[in-house]
Amino acid sequence: MSYSILIVDDSMPMRSVIKKTFKAAGYKNSQFHEAEDGEKALLLMKNSWIDLVVTDYNMPVMNGLEFVRALKQDILFKDIPVIAISTEGNESKIKEFTDCGVAGYITKPFTPEIVRDLLINILGEESYDGDFEQSGEGFDF
């Protein structure tokens, strides 16, 4: 299936890596949008149909937690599943996100296997293209 996925991260290389890993995880047919902070992501979402949001925590202007809170308070966006990706694996940080209603949390560094398992859990088995690439030097786009 094809999804419209928004990646929110202030690091351009990290946005590329997330996109590359999602494709390697079996979601090659999806369309990817990018924003460098929560504020720009909200603006983009007003004009684009988004099925899934992937957001970093540590960003300038509006951090990931503030962005998720804003999404969950908006009647148009509150049902869109959100995955938080962060370097911080502290349990209380993860709880802050889950309390805000995120569907999943990924800690950096991550592999296509971790992404695939979480996406199947959130979007369902039928969402998976079945074209999974093992992590390692082989996967590329």
Partner 1 sequence: MMEILSKAAKDSIFEVMETMFYLPVEFVQESILGESGLYEKMPGMACQLEFTGDFSGYLTLFIPKDLLIDMTKSFMGESQKNPEKDVVLGTLTETLNMICGNALSRVDSKNPFQLDLPEVIDESKLSQTQTFIIMATPQSMMAISITMN
Residue of the chain from 107, 123, 127, 132 that contacts partner 1 (CB under 8 A): 107
Q: Smallest gap, in angstroms, from Cβ of residue 119 to partner 1?
A: 18
Site for partner 1 in 1-30 (CB under 8 A): 10-14, 16-17, 20
Q: Look at residue 15 and give its three-state secondary structure.
A: helix
Task: Indicate whether 108 belongs to the interface with partner 1 (CB under 8 A).
Answer: yes
CA dist list (Å): 30 to 2, 64, 89: 4, 23, 28
Q: Dihedrals φ, ψ of 86, to 5°? A: -150, 160
Q: In whole angstroms, what is the distance from residue 5 CA to residue 24 CA?
A: 15
Site for partner 1 in 39-98 (CB under 8 A): 58, 60, 86-90, 92-93
Scanning the structure block, which residue is given the tokens 């996967």?
A: 139
Binding positions for partner 1, rule: CB under 8 A: 10-14, 16-17, 20, 58, 60, 86-90, 92-93, 107-111, 135-137, 140-141
